[in-house]
Chain A
Amino acid sequence: MKLTQTEKWLAIGLMVLPGLLALPPCTRAQSPGPAAAQLKMGADLSGVYYPSTARDTLGAATPDNPGQQFVWLDDSGKPIPFPKNLLTEWGKERLARNHPSGENAAGQTTTAYDSDDPDFACFPAGVPRVYLFLYPMQILNTKDGVMMVFEYGHNIRQIFTDGRGHAQDQEPTWMGDSIGHWEGDTLVVETTNQNDRTWLGYGGQPHSDQLKVEERMRKTDAGTLLIDITLIDPKAYTAPLHTRKKYILKPSWNLKEYVCEDNMINFRPFEKQTSTQSK
């Protein structure tokens, strides 16, 4: 049988094709792009951490609430009260609308039961408030970056360091969209695309969906993780806000189960009993 030139090439192709398909993926040509970008680790931040409860400027805003409020810092790093003076009109309106737990200037108490704090309704805390809960957090190294898993409410953050950009044209989410890169041993993270339903703390401090959170995470020694945080939110604040959080490595700890909805089943009746406004 005599084959034409075209038929010969077709036959060769049919013989070679199965072999090509059987080649392992790593031998195929790759085009440059985010998926192929080299993932470079600046430092190993992995481990289980607990927020510092030291009563210093990093861990405590008040002696009675170590770690439960952010310590706000001015541009020189000096601790300051929450900078209400930086709120925009939109921010002031939001702050006035929120109904946090605590005691107001007139001495009236709003309990957890009477508050509209989104945390008490089990919504994810958002960034950076997720750092305010006195539960451990685990950092894991993943193939495309770093993952933070928070025991409290099982919140997670995925911080992609593989060169991809922020999500485009998506609905904002509770925990936002975190993109990072390494500057030496410091993981630099930018978080955007958060909704405006979370607060910055127990005081009902607001933020908008334009919030951009810039973080610099680094180990200051083998057992200490320091996170410098800057919040840029022109809709809610006329200037950036600064704060800082310290975590202590707990080598022998592991995360435990914490299901926020247990609050509604087991704890809500007790909260109602302690209410000062509802009977």
Chain B
Amino acid sequence: MSCSPLRLLVVITGCVMFSGMLFAHHGGAEYDSKHPVTLHGTVVELRFINPHALLLFNVKDDAGKLTEWTAELQSPNLLSRRGWSRSTVKPGDQIVVMGHAVKNGAAAMSASKITFEDGRETPNMGLPPDSPN
């Protein structure tokens, strides 16, 4: 199996427990749920629009080449109920995106957790618990 330099940036983080494919509007079959990935990059744009927010971010490989990745997040309706807004991450922010890459090899992934490089966290992106709020 060959690995591109970009692929080498994809750190397999099998020890991290993810909440799985929680996409409310489609099944999530496009993602490789067996192999979680973590990518480090720079935010290009957050599209906070239904049915799923899309986060565009640039990832630099060892040779300095930039690739624009797209991460699928939950719906803005759900994210906003968890404390997200359209400016939770902004263009230029240095971020770490954890999730699962698509099976077809495109620069696309699901995102189950996003943190900032400085250690700050974004609000929980999981489904609401069985509680009144």
Q: Which residues of A pack against B, CB within 8 Å?
A: 50, 52-54, 59, 63-68, 100-103, 109-113, 119-120, 133-135, 151-152, 202, 223, 248-253, 256-260, 262-263, 266-267, 270-271, 273-276
Contacts and interface: CB of A to CB of B under 8 A. Distances in A.
Contacts of A257: 50, 77
B104 A260 contact: no
B124 to A, nearest CB: 13
User: Which A-B residue pairs are the 4 nearest by beta carbons?
Assistant: A64-B20, A112-B26, A134-B24, A274-B30
Interface in B89-133: 102-104, 106, 108, 127-133
B67 interface: no
Contact of B77 (A100, A223, A258): A258
9 contacts: A64-B22, A110-B29, A134-B22, A152-B25, A248-B130, A250-B132, A262-B50, A271-B26, A274-B31
Nearest to A133: B24
Given A111-B26, A270-B54, A273-B102, 20 more contacts: A53-B127, A64-B21, A64-B28, A65-B27, A65-B28, A102-B27, A103-B29, A113-B30, A119-B25, A135-B75, A135-B78, A248-B130, A250-B128, A250-B133, A262-B49, A266-B49, A274-B30, A274-B102, A274-B106, A276-B104
Contact of B24 (A135, A223, A252): A135
Interface residues of B, number: 37
A267 B52 contact: yes
A64 B33 contact: yes
Interface of B: 20-22, 24-31, 33, 47, 49-52, 54, 70, 72, 75, 77-78, 80-81, 102-104, 106, 108, 127-133
B20 A251 contact: no
A247 to B, nearest CB: 10
Contact of B51 (A65, A68, A111, A263): A263
A140 to B, nearest CB: 19
A266 B50 contact: yes
Nearest to B20: A64
Nearest to B52: A267
Nearest to B49: A266
B21 to A, nearest CB: 5
B49 to A, nearest CB: 5
B22 A66 contact: yes
Contact of A134 (B29, B33, B78, B103): B78
Contacts of A52: 130
Given A274-B104, A275-B104, A101 B127 contact: no
Nearest to B104: A276
Given A64-B21, A275-B104, A135 B29 contact: no
A109 B21 CA distance: 15
A110 B106 CA distance: 16
A273 B25 contact: no
A251 B49 contact: no
Contacts of A251: 132
